[in-house]
Structure 1
Amino acid sequence: MRYLLLLLIILGQKTVANDKATSRAVDHAPIGVMFDHYHKKGEWMISARQSHMEMTNNIFNGNAVSVADVLEMPNPLSIQPANLSIVPAKMGMQMTMVGVMFAPTNKITLMAMINYISKDMNLNTHQEIMSRDLIGSFSTSTSDVSDMTISTLIKLKEDDKSRWSGEISLQKSLSQKDIEGNVLTPMGQTMEMVLPYAMQTGDGASRFTFGITNIRKITDNLIWGNQVRTKAVIDEDAWAFGNQYSVTTWLQYEVSRQFSVSTRLKFDHENKILGRNLSVVAPVQTANTENYGGKELQLGLGANLLAKLLHGKNDRLGLELLIPLQQNKNNLQMATDYKIIFGYQKAI
């Protein structure tokens, strides 16, 4: 994290004088905030974001639990084994987001975005009865194009101190939702099975998103932003990840025209999985649809930079680290350690 911040500061020393005088690093929200700005008529913008999230250990209704605790919990999906016997140890998820924006008018900005996701999970398998000794460890991994989103951003109101915008989006999951992988069973055998929901890169569902964003100038150097978004499933088959609701608020400070820093609070609430895949039956917590969703409060620390990397207008670079302050996830789930996001934006 510190090396990336150092890189941003070094790049920020490069001149940006040949761009419009009004261009500032603080004009865009922290890179982890989506749909925060609109464009003037005829403007284009391309963007790319890369994120990485790390999860380790397990929590039950927000409280830390040991491996021994997990092994004592019942397996609700099958008579045998009677208790959970496969325990997740570590999970990483990488997401690549590529988008393009175009403003046909001063009030409307259109956006298209596609996401590519890769997931890796390390798990430990234990004997199903008696001493519950460790049999061995294994890992699963999946990757695919996850979804595509088409959005409309609407300029609602703008003056010298504040601007309001609305977002309407339609998202379609593109990935298959029954990816298989090799699983080490409590019997000591490796079997190819449909992986649990957490390892699927999509669910085949369609979703509608509505959001409102307000950006307010507190002083010439201090910006306050707020955003509310809700994402609802409107079409699903067999199962789908639950509806999502998020509220985020942030402060940005302009160190210079080329460089700004930010701090952010983000609250997420996700419902449990809708439906069920009857082929997901492994004796592991991630196979149970009740072990998804919940509430999470995160702290974000970020930086934005204007630099001259490619021909044309200034390039925008953004970096943000998200750390959980409180995790009240439903039932038994892995705990989030951190999420880091790096992004690039270029207006044309």
Structure 2
Amino acid sequence: MAKFQLSCLLSLGLFVGATTAWGDDSGRKGLADKHGPAGIMGDHLHEQGEWMVEYRYMNMYMDDNRVGETTLSDSQAIAYGATSNPITNRGATPTQMTMEMHMVHVMYGASDDVTLYTMLMLPSLTMDHLRGPANPAGPGTDFTTHNSGFGDTTLGALIRLYSTERCDWILNLGASVPTGDIYRTSSAPTGGLVSQPLPYPMRLGSGTFNARPGMTVKYFADWWSWGGQIQTDLPIGKNYRDYQVGSEVRLNTWTQYLLTDQVALSWRGEHVWRDNYDGADPDTPDALISTNVESFRGGYWYNMGFGAQAMWRGNYFNAEIVPTLGQDLNGIQLETDYSIIASWSRAF
């Protein structure tokens, strides 16, 4: 047991400068940093028979296009499409996008070491465009498309692998169910002349069952805590539109500092790796717009989150602003500027 405690400290890189002993401190995990920052999911469990209900809101804002690490203006994005492989943006180029997400999260402690969870998602997607040279509605004019409804449903189990008064190892056996619509049309791109399927980023789900395994480790000192998490999203097969969204890996580390027992501040670093799509929807020609191109969906993102957590009369509040500091995108894509995440939860 002593060896495992030491290995936990070594794996977190905290054995130097740790200010507390492994004494009796059963209340330490019940302070304001008991949950990770707002952008982290699957990092805590509940006692047997305990329920938790959470409402979570996220808004991600994207503006301008990027090729690799280079930002392009709207006119440059159209010009790039004329020489890219494949040729694209002849119909239009995206110029900015807002992705809002409303989430309802329910957790239940099946035992002290196993917590079950499910999450319902309601995305609202809005994308602005500039029409390209081959658009019948007139090049250089702009238009907006919008899509909203139910997204894919997430469910799973969190399993406590190891725990002391100061350290937790949690396995996440998660999955998603394809409840989000992946085929809707709009006549906005052609000014009402012809309807077209909405491109990939405007669709409400993946269309496939996805495995979402993950692992979280947390360490609690007297007035601060540290966490690390790896989370994956692995599509299984292709959907009925004959494509598969890209696999994704997210690696997060965070530190939280207690201002009081009820208020904490957090800092978080996030690495995101995402693959291109596999296969292709037969009704989404590459030449029309870059958001139809399956080989332009992957890349790497580095995000940094700054947040705060607070407890008040049994309620738990969590908020974070997450600017994107670095991104290297495959092909041409909208670049991500920042996200805002906030949640309220209550256990009973």
* TM-score (normalised: structure 1): 0.86
Paired residue type of 1:147 = D
Q: In structure 2, what is the equivalent of residue 200 of structure 1?
A: 203
Equivalent of residue 41 in structure 1, options 37, 48, 60: 48
Aligned partner of 1:318 in structure 2 is: 318
Deviations 1:157-213 (A, max 9, x none): 11122111100012112122111112334xx76421111111111131110011110
Could you tell me which residue of structure 2 aligns to residue 230 of structure 1?
232
Structure 2: stretches of 5+ with no match in the other structure: 1-26
Return the alpha-carbon distance in structure 2 between the equivalents of residues 251 and 35 of structure 1: 16
1:53/1:94 contact within 8 Å kept: yes
Cα RMSD (Å): 2.3
Q: Map 1:244-259 onto structure 2 (within 5 A).
A: 244-259=248-263
Retained in 2: the 8 A contact 1:44–1:347? Answer: yes
Alignment of 1:299 with 2:301, yes or no, is no
Conserved? CA contact 1:77–1:288, under 8 Å: no
Change (3 A) 1:76 1:140: farther
Q: Higher strand proportion, which one?
A: 1
State the Cα distance separating 1:134 from its structure 2 match.
4.3
Instruction: Give 1:24 deviation, angstroms.
Output: 1.5
The aligned residue for residue 182 of structure 2 is: 177
Q: Which residue of 1 aligns with 2:100?
A: 94
Contact 1:90-1:121 within 8 A present in 2 as well: yes
C-alpha distance in 2, partners of 1:182/1:138? 10
CA distance change for structure 1 residues 82 and 175 in 2, over 3 Å: closer, same or farther? Answer: closer
Q: Deviations over 1:45-85 (max 9, x none)?
A: 11110100111101001211223322223469999x98634
Deviation at 1:322, TM superposition (A): 0.7
Q: 2:152 touches 2:206 (CA, 8 Å); kept in 1?
A: no
Matches within 5 A, 1:139-218: 139-185=144-190, 190-217=193-220
Distance 1:83 1:287, change over 3 A: closer
**What is the distance in 2 between the residues matched to 1:65 and 1:77?**
14
Q: Give the match for residue 280 of structure 1.
A: 284
**Whole-Å Cα distance in 2 between the matches of residues 154 and 269 of structure 1?**
25
Gaps of 5+ in 1: 1-19, 309-313
**1:327 corresponds to 2:327:** yes
Offset, 1:97: 1.1
Cα-to-partner distance string for 1:244-264 (whole Å, 9 max, x where unaligned):
101000000000111100000
Is 1:73–2:89 an aligned residue pair?
Answer: no
Does the CA contact (< 8 Å) of 2:29 and 2:165 recur in 1?
no
CA distance in 1, matches of 2:257, 2:198: 44
- For 1:253 and 1:184, the matched residues in 2 are separated by 49
| Aligned twin of 1:7 | none
CA distance in 1, matches of 2:172, 2:91: 44
8 Å CA contact 1:203, 1:239 repeated in 2 = no
Tell me the equivalent position of 2:58: 51
Q: Name the CA shift for 1:124/1:190 in 2 (closer, same or farther; >3 Å).
A: farther
CA distance in 2, matches of 1:240, 1:83: 22
SS at match of 2:90: coil
Provide the C-alpha distance between the structure 2 equivalents of 1:334 and 1:78, rounded to a whole number of angstroms. Answer: 17
Q: Which amino acid aligns with 1:73?
A: Y
Alpha-carbon distance between aligned partners in 2 of 1:283 and 1:206, rounded to the nearest angstrom: 29
1: CA distance, partners of 2:70 / 2:113: 47
**In structure 1, C-alpha distance between the alignment counterparts of 2:245 and 2:329, rounded to whole Å:** 14
C-alpha separation between the residues in 1 aligned to 2:234 and 2:29?
37
User: 1:26 offset after TM fit, Å?
Assistant: 1.0
Shift of residue 274 of structure 1?
1.9
Q: How far 1:241 sits from its partner (Å)?
A: 1.5
Q: Secondary structure at the match of 1:344?
A: strand
Tell whether the 8 Å contact from 2:88 to 2:289 is kept in structure 1 after alignment.
no
Q: Distance in 1 between the 2:311 and 2:160 partners?
A: 24
State TM-score, norm by structure 2: 0.86
Please say if residues 70 and 84 of structure 1, whose CA atoms lie closer than 8 Å, have aligned partners that are also in contact.
Answer: no
Does the aligned pair in 2 maintain the 1:40–1:105 contact within 8 Å? Answer: yes
C-alpha deviations, 1:125-174, integer Å up to 9, x for none?
13339xxx844111100001011111110001111221111000121121
Percent of residue pairs bearing the same amino acid type: 26
